[in-house]
Chain A
């Protein structure tokens, strides 16, 4: 789960991590009040969306009059911001964070992330922070520093000192940086975060380290014990159908094609999409119904895939392990009857209780094609949907 910048900065303040003063605006009428309590004659207007690349896309602007602030707020609020990290539709801007600007001497990059290779939290730093950090990583990899934290002992002052040494920070900045990194680590672990990225972490003209931006990702698996953070969820930043699916515990991503897929397991779901594409078809979605699927869940899955009007055929591919094929089969039968589905359906059932499942489908006398060879099943649904467009 992603946090907005303002939510992330609230968390920073809790850990005494230095950041800028700012206020959240959700309605233009709040603007005068905010401008009179923050800053004097310059402000930074920042659209709150779950995506990076906001600056280049016009989502972060520096203004130097109240009039300009008013114009920018009215332009951004309620709009959709498209950045290189969003879809082509963009993300809704429902709130704006207004900050006082600071004078910048240097931009540093700082991130804490779980590194899969070492199974440790990794600290990534660079003296070349700012919006071009990925170019720095590609062209000057020696400017990117990576350190991992031993989970048994946590972050150690010595490794922080080493990072400061490598970043070439002076004595006062080093002691601020060492303190800051230890606080970020504490926040990371106590809140079950999977990413903290500060880009840029700036050195101000006054000689202080300040976190100008804040990206935080929370580990979804840990939300059960992070109730406070769970309340920060912003559904407006999610795709509507994907959101509905996730509330039903289904893993769904919509795509551009016409053949809907219903599969158990993320890997098999991707492999099924790959197969459809290989044989010349276009998948309409990725849908993993998961391991604890029952009849009701199958019907809900049908509702979601059929709400996509591009769909003109359905391929169901279930390899039962923890999932029982007979349960899936009765869900398919029930859904086909209840929703009066006339689209071609091809079903492939294998694994736990596959025979019982196929018997149920045969006995139902519905227009459902069973095909136990996955290759043939993929070709069959493509053939049945051709000319239906």
Chain B
């Protein structure tokens, strides 16, 4: 089962011929991911990494029956690329690129929500369902098929969580990096909902960081909707509070935002929290007993 992607997922890569996209797509192909085509405007008819290239998502989808897309195009072109994928009925869209202007993201989010597509990212490591499908830039070898669902705002902390759940022998059902931007395509709650419904997932790791109020919202959701055990780490207990300009940020977030407040909200929701990232593995073993 797992969530979002599996061995039947048919993936297109938008921007396949770029250097980062080539490096990571080759790894994904070696991992067994079913990459069916690439989309690079102006390069129709070429083959790259043994995969055919089309000019548009419409052609790629129609001719290779794709249902997911991973986007590596530069930030100024991401709005176009994401909306192209969504308008053409791609269900799961992963955007790795960082540095997309926020105004673009507001428009992207409104457009794709109407279409019912799911966007993971931008500015994220992507999604992996171990041994089945890898849509992202994560190192493959640390993963192991198993029972822990991982959702995180931070890329490298996702790897750390994966590494530990593998080390304690539990492995992962699916790992989702939702990205660190202020306007992400999906947030914790979207992914928690999927993990709760997934039979393979027995426990959940949620990794947050300081800033915003998404962890607090997730805690509220967990309290009333999640029955599976959740283990959580929040990065930034020791981070200094940043220089602020004006008052509007403080007015919106209210008391939310600090690591302490997020821990408190999660603990109130019955989440098992750890204060060091290295304690995740042990905590998982305890909650999954």
| CB pairs A–B below 8 angstroms (17 shown) | A137-B247, A137-B250, A150-B110, A195-B245, A197-B247, A219-B103, A253-B240, A263-B156, A265-B157, A267-B153, A267-B207, A271-B157, A275-B277, A278-B275, A319-B163, A322-B155, A373-B278
Chain B nearest CB, measured from A261 CB (Å) = 11
The answer to whether A265 and B154 have CB atoms under 8 Å apart is: yes
Binary B-proximity of A227-254 (CB < 8 A = 1, otherwise 0): 0000000000000000000000000010
User: Which residues of B from 68 to 111 have beta carbons under 8 Å from A?
Assistant: 75-76, 98-107, 109-111
Chain A nearest CB, measured from B217 CB (Å) = 7
- B210 at the binding interface (Cβ < 8 Å): yes
Binary B-proximity of A122-158 (CB < 8 A = 1, otherwise 0): 1010000000011001000000101000111000000
- A258 at the binding interface (Cβ < 8 Å): no
The answer to whether A268 and B244 have CB atoms under 8 Å apart is: no
Known interface pairs A221-B102, A267-B153. Does A52 touch B245 (Cβ–Cβ under 8 Å)? yes
Bound: A114/B209 CA distance, A: 19
CB-CB nearest in chain A for B164: A374
- A189 at the binding interface (Cβ < 8 Å): yes
- A222 at the binding interface (Cβ < 8 Å): yes
CB-CB nearest in chain B for A138: B254
Bound: A248/B195 CA distance, A: 40
Bound: A50/B236 CA distance, A: 25
Bound: A368/B265 CA distance, A: 41
- A192 at the binding interface (Cβ < 8 Å): yes
CB-CB nearest in chain A for B138: A321
Chain B nearest CB, measured from A83 CB (Å) = 11
The answer to whether B102 and A277 have CB atoms under 8 Å apart is: no
Chain A nearest CB, measured from B173 CB (Å) = 20
- A165 at the binding interface (Cβ < 8 Å): no
Bound: A291/B251 CA distance, A: 33
Binary B-proximity of A194-219 (CB < 8 A = 1, otherwise 0): 11010100000000000000010101
Known interface pairs A134-B247, A321-B138. Does A151 touch B235 (Cβ–Cβ under 8 Å)? no
Question: Of B76, B105, B275, which is within 8 A of A225 by CB?
Answer: B76
User: Which residues of B from 221 to 269 have beta carbons under 8 Å from A?
Assistant: 233, 235-240, 243-252, 254
Question: Of A117, A119, A266, A350, which is within 8 A of B109 by CB?
Answer: A119
Question: Of A255, A267, A283, A291, which is within 8 A of B152 by CB?
Answer: A267
CB-CB nearest in chain A for B104: A222
Residues of B within 8 A of A119 (CB): 105-106, 109-110, 183
- B182 at the binding interface (Cβ < 8 Å): yes
Bound: A266/B154 CA distance, A: 7
Bound: A286/B238 CA distance, A: 10
Chain B nearest CB, measured from A346 CB (Å) = 15
Residues of A within 8 A of B107 (CB): 151
Chain A contributes a number of interface residues (CB within 8 A of B) equal to: 67
Known interface pairs A274-B275, A350-B163. Does A111 touch B248 (Cβ–Cβ under 8 Å)? yes
The answer to whether A350 and B102 have CB atoms under 8 Å apart is: no
The answer to whether A221 and B247 have CB atoms under 8 Å apart is: no
The answer to whether A286 and B239 have CB atoms under 8 Å apart is: yes
- B125 at the binding interface (Cβ < 8 Å): yes
- A21 at the binding interface (Cβ < 8 Å): no
Binary A-proximity of B199-229 (CB < 8 A = 1, otherwise 0): 0000000010110111001000000000000
The 8 closest A-B pairs by CB, nearest first: A267-B154, A265-B156, A222-B101, A268-B156, A111-B248, A270-B235, A197-B246, A267-B157
The answer to whether B235 and A52 have CB atoms under 8 Å apart is: no
The answer to whether B276 and A275 have CB atoms under 8 Å apart is: yes
Residues of B within 8 A of A266 (CB): 154, 180, 209
Given A137-B247, A150-B110, A319-B163, 8 further pairs, Cβ under 8 A: A2-B245, A52-B247, A111-B248, A117-B252, A119-B106, A152-B111, A319-B139, A375-B276
Chain B nearest CB, measured from A355 CB (Å) = 10
Residues of B within 8 A of A50 (CB): 243, 245
The answer to whether B248 and A322 have CB atoms under 8 Å apart is: no
Known interface pairs A50-B245, A133-B251, A267-B155. Does A275 touch B278 (Cβ–Cβ under 8 Å)? yes
- A87 at the binding interface (Cβ < 8 Å): yes
CB-CB nearest in chain B for A52: B246
CB-CB nearest in chain A for B153: A267
The answer to whether B101 and A225 have CB atoms under 8 Å apart is: yes
The answer to whether B245 and A215 have CB atoms under 8 Å apart is: yes
Bound: A194/B278 CA distance, A: 36
- B159 at the binding interface (Cβ < 8 Å): yes
- B145 at the binding interface (Cβ < 8 Å): no
The answer to whether B240 and A221 have CB atoms under 8 Å apart is: no
Bound: A120/B182 CA distance, A: 11
- A28 at the binding interface (Cβ < 8 Å): no
Residues of B within 8 A of A85 (CB): 243-245
- A293 at the binding interface (Cβ < 8 Å): no
Residues of A within 8 A of B99 (CB): 221
Binary B-proximity of A274-285 (CB < 8 A = 1, otherwise 0): 110110000100
Residues of B within 8 A of A121 (CB): 106
Residues of A within 8 A of B100 (CB): 221
Residues of B within 8 A of A271 (CB): 157, 160, 233, 235, 276-277
Bound: A148/B227 CA distance, A: 33
